[in-house]
Amino acid sequence: MSEEKKKTASGRGALAELKEAVTGLFDQVVGLTPDLGFRREFPKHELRVEDDGYLALVEIPGLRRDEVEVSISGRALSISGERPRFNPPADSQMIRSERPSGEFTLAIRLPAEVDAGAVAARVRDGVLEIKLPKPTAGRGQSIDVEADEASQPADEPSSHERPGDRSRMPWEDEPTQS
Amino acid sequence: MGSKDDLRDRKDPRASVGDERNARVRRRNYARPAVDIYSNDVEMVVLADMPGVPKSDLDVTLEKDELVIEGRVADREASESALPWGYHRRFRLKTNFDRDRIRAGIRGGVLRVVLPKAAGERPQKVPVD
C-alpha cells in the first residue's frame, strides 16, 4: 500500500531509481552507460579494416561534428554526445515519435594500436567517419616508459584527437630500432 | 531494426528477371527509417532519420494515396556493410494534401517532408452573427 502511495506521490523518483538500477547493471556487464532515450540501441556503428588503418562509422543523424566528442586512449575509442529531444513547433501535435534522443556513449575496442595523433574525424550526411591510421614504423615517437596499460591509473586523461598531439602508446612489444 | 513487412510484397520496378535476386538482397539491407511526424492546421511534417543519404541519392514520391521515401547510401553495398545500404518507407496518406506544394529536403541525414493541407482540410472559422 505504501509502495503504491510512493509511486503516485513521486512517480519520477521511482522511475529514476529504476533507471539507475538498469544503468548500473549495464555498467557491470558491458562497461557502458546507455541512456534510456536510446533504449538498447546505441548509435549504430561499424568498424572497418582498411589497408592503412581503421575506419569507424557512427550514425548520428542531425548532429554536427562539434556536438560529438571523440577521444582515444590506447586501443579504446570513445564517442559520446547528446541528441536533443525533438519538440514540435507551437500549435502542433506529435502524431508519431520514433526517432531516438538523449545522451549516448560508445566505446569501441580497436583490434590493434593506431597513431592516435593522426586520428581524424568528420561528419558527412549524419554519419561520423573516424579515420584511425596504423602507426608508422620508424617515426620518431617518444615512448613513455611508464605507459604500461595495466599500471595506468583509472583517471588517466585520454588523449583527444588533435593533430600533433603526442599520445601515450602502451607498447606490448619492444619497438623495433630504426 | 524496424519490421520490413512493408517491403515484402512490393515489386522492385527496376528489377528484371536476372536482377530479381539482387533486388531481394538490396531490399533486405535497406532499413525502415525512424520518423517523427507532427501536424497542425496548415500542414503535416515528416522527419526521417536517413544517415548517410545525400540529396542526390534521395527519392521522395507521391503515389495515389501513399508517400514513399527512399534513399541510398553510397559504398555500403560495395563494401558489404552491416549498416543499412539504404532506407525505404511508405506512408498511407489519409488527409487531403495540396500535392503541388509538397516539398522535401535532406540535411545531415535527416529528411524533412512538408505536406501542406488542402484548403478543405484546414479548419475554417465559421462566422457567427
ipTM, 2 dp: 0.78
In this structure, of A96-100, A106-110, A155-159, the range with the lowest mean pLDDT score is A155-159
First to last CA, chain B: 56
How many Å apart are CA B73 and CA A126, to the nearest integer? Answer: 11
β-bridge pairing B86-92 and B30-31? parallel
Residue A98 has pLDDT above 80, yes or no: yes
B39 contacts in A (CB within 8 Å)? 92-93, 95
Spans in chain B with pLDDT lower than 50:
1-10
How many angstroms separate the CA of residue B14 from the nearest CA in chain A?
26
Would you state the pLDDT for residue B94?
83
Tens of pLDDT along A36-80? 445 545 799 999 999 999 999 999 999 999 999 999 999 999 999
Residue A178 has pLDDT above 80, yes or no: no
How many angstroms separate the CA of residue A62 from the nearest CA in chain B?
5
For the record, the C-alpha cell of B6 comes out as 512493408
How many Å apart are CA B120 and CA A130, to the nearest integer? Answer: 50
Tens of pLDDT along A26-36? 444 443 444 44
A93 contacts in B (CB within 8 Å)? 38-40
Would you state the pLDDT for residue B7?
38
Would you state the pLDDT for residue A34?
42
Q: Do A98 and B47 touch (CB under 8 A)?
A: no
Partners of residue B71 on adjacent β-strands: B58, B87
**3-class SS at B22?**
helix
Please state the pTM of the whole predicted model: 0.67
Q: Do A86 and B81 touch (CB under 8 A)?
A: no
For the record, the C-alpha cell of B61 comes out as 514520391
Selected for mutation to probe chain B from A96, A101, A106 (highest B CB count within 10 Å) is: A96
Would you state the pLDDT for residue A147?
47
Asked if residues A56 and A110 have their Cβ atoms less than 8 Å apart, the reply is no
Q: Do A94 and B109 touch (CB under 8 A)?
A: no
Q: Could you tell me what percent of chain A has a pLDDT over 90? A: 51
**What is the chain A residue with the closest CA to B46?**
A96
Asked if residues B70 and B109 have their Cβ atoms less than 8 Å apart, the reply is no
Would you state the pLDDT for residue B16?
57
The residues on B that touch A, with CB distances below 8 Å, are 34-41, 44-45, 47, 49-54, 79, 81-83, 106, 108-110
Element (H, E) at A13: helix A11-30
Selected for mutation to probe chain A from B110, B112, B114 (highest A CB count within 10 Å) is: B110
**3-class SS at A107?**
strand
Would you state the pLDDT for residue B34?
97
Would you state the pLDDT for residue B27?
79
The residues on A that touch B, with CB distances below 8 Å, are 44-46, 48, 57, 59-64, 86, 88-89, 91-100, 123-127
How many Å apart are CA B125 and CA B127, to the nearest integer? Answer: 6
Q: Do A94 and B44 touch (CB under 8 A)?
A: no
Residue A114 has pLDDT above 50, yes or no: yes
Report the pLDDT averaged over residues A18-31: 55
Residue A106 has pLDDT above 60, yes or no: yes
Would you state the pLDDT for residue A24?
54
